[in-house]
Amino acid sequence: ARLTVYRNLTRPAAARQWAEVGRLLAEAGRAVPDSAEVPLLEAEVLVAKGDVPGAKRLLTAARDARPNEPEFWFALATLADRTGDNTAAHAILDEAAKTLGDTADLRIARLRVTGYTSAEQAVAVLDGLGSGADKFAPDDRVRLFRALASAYWLIDRPALAAGLWERVAALR
């Protein structure tokens, strides 16, 4: 189903075959009813069709039904950010932290929705996201350090990026 959704998204809007996507997603939902991926894909389809409010309703219902599934929190924050509501994106992630606790994935989600007005501000935010990361499991630290290293690289702070890449190498 995922491949059909993404293949459809690469087509011109008039050539998209949403009926086939809907059928495949319904089959997937019946086959794997507890899958988080099905509602996430359904939300992507709604966004592609221009129904952002419908996607938000679907993701909110999924999150409310399964509040311990981080994917729904992150998808809601990403949707808010994509629609220009960065304040809501951060509020959603703040709520997620209350439910899920501090996780590497939550920090990566924050990284993805945080905008910066200067490199100095970005460094301060990135430093904060990396602070205390030693409490995470090694694989979680690797994911977080990779994301932070990429962000440091993008703001032209290669020494900070290199330091994190060294930490990734040491964990491998």
Residues 6+ apart with CB under 8 A from 98: none
What percent of the chain lies above the pLDDT cut of 90? 74
Per-residue pLDDT of the chain (172 residues; tens, 9 = 90+): 678 777 888 888 888 888 888 888 888 889 998 889 999 999 999 998 899 999 999 999 999 999 999 999 999 999 999 999 999 999 999 999 999 999 999 999 999 998 888 889 999 999 999 999 999 999 999 999 999 999 999 999 999 999 999 999 999 8
DSSP string, 80-138: HHHTT-HHHHHHHHHHHHHHH-S-HHHHHHHHHH---SSHHHHHHHHHHHHTTGGGS-H
Q: 61-93: per-residue pLDDT in tens? A: 999 999 999 999 999 999 999 999 999 999 999
Specify the DSSP class assigned to residue 16: -
Residue entry with tokens 């935010």: 125
